[in-house]
Amino acid sequence: MRIEGIPASAGYAEGPLFDLDRPPAAYRCKATAAEEKAALKAAIARAVSRLTSLAEPADADAAGILEFHIAMLEDDALGGPAFVSIDSGQPADAAWRAALDAEIAGYEASDQDYFRARAADLRDIRDQVLRALSEDGGIDAPAGAILYGMDIAPTRFLETDWSRGGGIALKAGSSASHVAMLARSRGVPMVVGLGVFGDDPTGVALLDAEHGDIVLSPSPADVEAFRESSSSFAARQGKAQTFLTQPAATKAGTPVRVQVNIAYPSDVGGIDIASCDGVGLMRTEFLFGKALPDEETQFHAYRKVLEWAGDKPVTIRTVDAGGDKPVPGFTVEETNPFLGLRGIRLSLARRDIFRVQIRALLRAAVHGNLKVMFPMIATTEEYSQAATLFAEEQAALATRGVAHKLPPLGIMVEVPSVAIAPEAFANVAFFSIGSNDLTQYVMAAARDNAAVANLNSVRHPAVLRLIASVAAFGQQHGIPVSLCGDAGGDPAAIPALLEAGLRDLSVAPAQLAMAKAAIADVSV
């Protein structure tokens, strides 16, 4: 039986299935409410110390996630309702489960992918404490297993020894989750959105996380075809590494610029600047975490990336909050956030917050080759208002004698109105096509909904025709056009993008080698 889902981290895994949703061992109730409370307190402390020991050897991404879990557990507000229920006669395990389930339900009901993805973190925290309460050490998955379940806890991911192979197959899950991010950076195959499959499937399964499916109870022919695809993927990956250090060019020798997309300034730590042509997209909304970052924090973050890149260009995008990227204290509750107050619309509505970012960018521009672009531009008025704010803040910095520089200002082409009628934007410094959003808006198929993933294709002729017309418009008017959506790093989409006239792509760092190898295979 083959079940289709959404690829969240490319790769192949063949191995025994391991059920992630196995219930923890039973809890033995105590005699009094005071003892129940003491047991819960001790279990929370044990969970914290377990997480602390996991965080010590972990890399920066993983440590950040674990520290978030520790901070949640140490926050009395989370466990508060559980202690109240114990006072009214509940045992510790039921009280803790009910309190956390209520919290999780709130996150799961959110129509924003970011919050739904955080529900997995809360389930992880809930189960950590339940395991500590029942003194259940957990059962280890066999070597090379495919871990399957509704979702996977980040700590379960970090505890697993992936050096022995294996993969992750989720009935629900999200490619925006913390685990998906970790899986991509460590090359662990992962598929999400598979839906409910079979009652307790067992035996060996075949996980194809390049295309996003799983085969249960495979036939010998299935296994043979799977192994062929898997070794072709491994061979492509191995071959791709040899392209990493070379400038990208097609088979016919046409040079193609390949830049990288980053989110955090620390991302550059793992990238050799010699392997890319600069940063084509820095998504600054990830700096806007729990609290809004002040001017100094932003200035240092941007400066760090600019200094790392030397004279290579760094394109920093002004905050694209909203849609699937809510920022507490900034974004608003909306019934349809992808069509709401997101990107430049929100920045122009909250100019106090936008001006802080503009000042940080103007000051950082002195430290490298900065370009700035605006997300979700739909009309020329939005561009001119944003450009005017840059001019006003520049004048104010000049009056105060603060070192600064006005960078070239460009726009994301991701709203169909711009791609259809780019002529109104002939005065902008550059275009960067956001194929993730352009595709979802052209196809009316949300980028984060497994049920319509088949429609969300950058290779649909309607999307490709728009991309080609934007590339042609840029050529005619001397406006540089790049593409920074995920399609730029997708070997299956690269031939069509180059055919459409693009010669400048910006890709996730993990896709750099594969993208260059795919470019070398195209004849344009």
Q: How many CB atoms lie within 10 A of CB 407?
A: 22
User: Which residue from 467, 514, 502 is spatially nearest to 257, judged by alpha carbons?
Assistant: 502
Q: How far is the CB of 496 from Mg ion (least distance, A)?
A: 19
Strand partners, 206: 14, 215
Q: How far is the CB of 160 from Mg ion (least distance, A)?
A: 32
Nearer to Mg ion, 79 or 434 (CB): 434
User: What single DSSP character describes residue 246?
Assistant: S
Q: How far is the CB of 435 from ligand PEP (least distance, A)?
A: 5
Q: Could you give the CA distance from residue 490 to residue 184 in angstroms, rounded to a whole number?
A: 14
Q: Could you give the CA distance from residue 32 to residue 338 in angstroms, rounded to a whole number?
A: 51
- Interface with Mg ion by CB under 5 A: which range of 248-256, 377-385, 433-441, 456-464? 433-441
Query: Which residue in 69, 367, 404, 484 is the catalytic one?
Result: 484
Q: Which two structure tokens, joined as six digits, stand for 145?
A: 């297993």
Nearer to Mg ion, 338 or 390 (CB): 338
Nearer to ligand PEP, 169 or 433 (CB): 433
Residue 435, contacted partner among ligand PEP, Mg ion, none, CB below 5-8 A by kind: ligand PEP
**Contact status, residue 454 vs residue 408, Cβ threshold 8 Å:** no
Q: Could you give the CA distance from residue 398 to residue 404 in angstroms, rounded to a whole number?
A: 8
Nearer to ligand PEP, 97 or 503 (CB): 503
Specify whether 69 is catalytic. no
Specify whether 484 is catalytic. yes
Q: How far is the CB of 325 from Mg ion (least distance, A)?
A: 9
- Interface with Mg ion by CB under 5 A: which range of 219-227, 311-319, 359-367, 436-444? 436-444
* 437 near Mg ion (CB under 5 A): yes
Q: Rg (Cα) of the chain, in Å, rounded?
A: 24
Residue 485, contacted partner among ligand PEP, Mg ion, none, CB below 5-8 A by kind: ligand PEP
Which residues would be at the binding site for ligand PEP (CB under 6 A)?
A: 281, 283, 320, 414, 434-437, 484-485
Q: How far is the CB of 325 from ligand PEP (least distance, A)?
A: 7
Nearer to ligand PEP, 170 or 483 (CB): 483
* 486 near Mg ion (CB under 5 A): no
Answer positive or negative: Cα dihedral of 291, 295, 300, 303.
positive
Nearer to Mg ion, 104 or 442 (CB): 442
Q: Could you give the CA distance from residue 381 to residue 385 in angstroms, rounded to a whole number?
A: 6
Residue 490, contacted partner among Mg ion, ligand PEP, none, CB below 5-8 A by kind: none
At 476 the three-state DSSP class reads helix
Choosing from 5, 293, 434, 489, the residue that interacts with Mg ion (CB under 5 A) is 434
Q: How far is the CB of 394 from Mg ion (least distance, A)?
A: 26
Q: Could you give the CA distance from residue 227 to residue 12 in angstroms, rounded to a whole number?
A: 9
Query: Which residue in 178, 276, 367, 404 is the catalytic one?
Result: 178
Q: Could you give the CA distance from residue 456 to residue 448 in angstroms, rounded to a whole number?
A: 9
Q: How many CB atoms lie within 10 A of CB 520?
A: 17
User: What phi and psi values does residue 449 have, to the nearest 5 degrees?
Assistant: -120, 110
**Contact status, residue 345 vs residue 375, Cβ threshold 8 Å:** no
Strand partners, 2: 215
Residue 357, contacted partner among Mg ion, ligand PEP, none, CB below 5-8 A by kind: none
Active site residues: 178, 484
Instruction: Kindly list the residues in this chain that would bind Mg ion in the complex (CB under 5 A).
Output: 414, 434, 437
